[in-house]
Amino acid sequence: MVTTLYLIRHGETEGSEVKRYKGSIDVPLSEKGIRQIKRASDFIKDKLTAVYCSPLSRALKSAEIISEPHGLKPVVIHGIRERSFGIWEGMSFDEIKEKYPEEFEAWAGNPLKYSPVEGESTIEVRDRVIRALDMILNNHNDEHIAIIAHGGVNRIILCHIMGIPLENIFRIEQDFAAVNIIEFWEKYQVVKLLNGVSIG
Task: Band the pLDDT of 142: cuts 50, 70, 90.
Answer: very high
Q: Quick one: how far is CA 60 from the chain centroid?
A: 12
Is 174 inside a domain boundary? yes
Contact 191, 180 (CB under 8 A): yes
Asked whether residue 193 carries a pLDDT value surpassing 60, the answer given is yes
Asked whether residue 120 carries a pLDDT value surpassing 90, the answer given is yes
Is 70 inside a domain boundary? yes
Average pLDDT value for residue range 100-105:
92
b/e code 121-144 from CB counts within 10 Å (16+ = b): ebeebbebbeebbeebbeebeebb
Q: What is the mean pLDDT of the chain?
A: 93
CA quadruple 134, 137, 141, 142: dihedral sign: negative
For residue 22, give the 3-state DSSP assignment: coil
Tens digits of residue pLDDT in 24-39: 888 999 999 999 999 9
pLDDT number for residue 23: 84
Is 25 inside a domain boundary? yes
Asked whether residue 17 carries a pLDDT value surpassing 80, the answer given is no
CATH number at residue 49: 3.40.50.1240
Task: Band the pLDDT of 87: cuts 50, 70, 90.
Answer: very high
Is 21 inside a domain boundary? yes
Is 97 inside a domain boundary? no
Percent of the chain with pLDDT over 70: 98
Percent of the chain with pLDDT over 90: 78
pLDDT number for residue 199: 57
Of 82-86, 142-146, 178-182, the one with minimum mean pLDDT is: 82-86
Contact 33, 176 (CB under 8 A): yes
Parent domain of 29: 3-83+121-196
For residue 136, give the 3-state DSSP assignment: helix
Tens digits of residue pLDDT in 37-67: 999 999 998 999 999 999 999 999 999 999 9
Task: Band the pLDDT of 200: cuts 50, 70, 90.
Answer: low
Total count of domains within the chain: 1
pLDDT number for residue 117: 87
